[in-house]
Amino acid sequence: MSDFIALVNLPVPAATVPASAAEPGLERGWLSRALESVSVWIVLLLAWWVASVYLPLGDNPLLPSPLITANALWDSLPELWAGTLSSLTILIPGFALATLLGIVSGLAVGTSARLQRIFLPFAKVAGPVPPTVYIPYAIAILPTFKLSAIFVVFIGAFWPIFQNSVAGAHALEQSYRDNARILGLTRFEYQRRVVFPAALPHIFTGMAVGLAFSFILLTVAELFGANAGLGRFVQYYADFADYPKMVAGILYTGLVTFLAMTLLDRVRRRSLFWLK
């Protein structure tokens, strides 16, 4: 078990953070707090604008100004939206399958000493392999690019979810186990009604890591062979040295990633309402 924890780098289930951490005595109105939360954005935007106007970068600026980028973003929205849909048809199946199999197998392994003896040595070796190395082979082996990209996203998201599910099942408090035994729960009831909810804080940690990995792998995979998608969009316009569109693509991808992570966090908060 101890070597297992070393492998997982045991995540601390993030406790629900209070919405406002401000001490009542130190409050200085909503305006100053709003300014604090956007200050980094303002500084970066200014720095970007100054750099794009005053740095001598010639006719085809590597650093398009914010306004030019905004125009490029606006013009590209239909194409970006189509790319988003294309990317989601890779991301969603890969991530969903990883979540499902990661949780089911992780909880099964986490609650069985025998399954741990069988699978953990393998997981310890296979888990840390950077999933990007599978991309060329997956493209060669699987019939379509889409399938191989889904596969790679799946591999990348699977291990963090699996490992955190194992850790969550492992961390199950003795008292819950005793309670389940006293109630005479069947093995399936025990998994579904006790182990799974108890492990949920860990599982969500794994899902957050897995989702971030999914976006990385999605965009990298798209560089290899996609004909649409977010990573493909950036690569395509970089090849034509259309930097305004490329930067617009980067910003847009960042936004989509942020929205997906926010959505997952919402789900997490709703599901873990019972955590104090």
Chain positions contacting other proteins, by CB under 8 A: 173, 175-176, 178-179, 181-185, 193-194, 197-198, 200, 273-276
Q: What phi, psi does 236 have (nearest 5°)? A: -60, -50
Residue type, 53: V
What would the two tokens of residue 196 be?
């799974």
**Distance (Å, rounded) from C-alpha 265 to C-alpha 276?**
17
**Distance (Å, rounded) from C-alpha 35 to C-alpha 95?**
36
- Closer to other proteins at the Cβ: 39 or 179? 179
Tell me the Ramachandran region of residue 229: left when phi exceeds 0, alpha when psi lies from -120 to 50, beta otherwise: left
- Closer to other proteins at the Cβ: 78 or 184? 184
**Distance (Å, rounded) from C-alpha 140 to C-alpha 138?**
5
Alpha helices (runs of H) in the chain, residue ranges in sequence order: 2-8, 29-54, 66-110, 113-126, 135-141, 145-170, 174-183, 187-190, 196-225, 230-239, 243-271
- Closer to other proteins at the Cβ: 52 or 111? 111
- Closer to other proteins at the Cβ: 134 or 190? 190
| Minimum distance from residue 178 beta carbon to other proteins (Å) | 6
| Minimum distance from residue 105 beta carbon to other proteins (Å) | 22
* 149 close to 222: Cβ distance less than 8 angstroms: yes
CA angle, residues 7, 10, 16, in degrees to nearest 5: 155
| Minimum distance from residue 165 beta carbon to other proteins (Å) | 16
Inter-helix orientation angle 66-110/243-271, to 10°: 40
| Minimum distance from residue 188 beta carbon to other proteins (Å) | 13
| Minimum distance from residue 268 beta carbon to other proteins (Å) | 14
| Minimum distance from residue 175 beta carbon to other proteins (Å) | 4
- Closer to other proteins at the Cβ: 200 or 234? 200
| Minimum distance from residue 106 beta carbon to other proteins (Å) | 18
- Closer to other proteins at the Cβ: 194 or 217? 194
* 87 close to 249: Cβ distance less than 8 angstroms: no
- Closer to other proteins at the Cβ: 240 or 274? 274
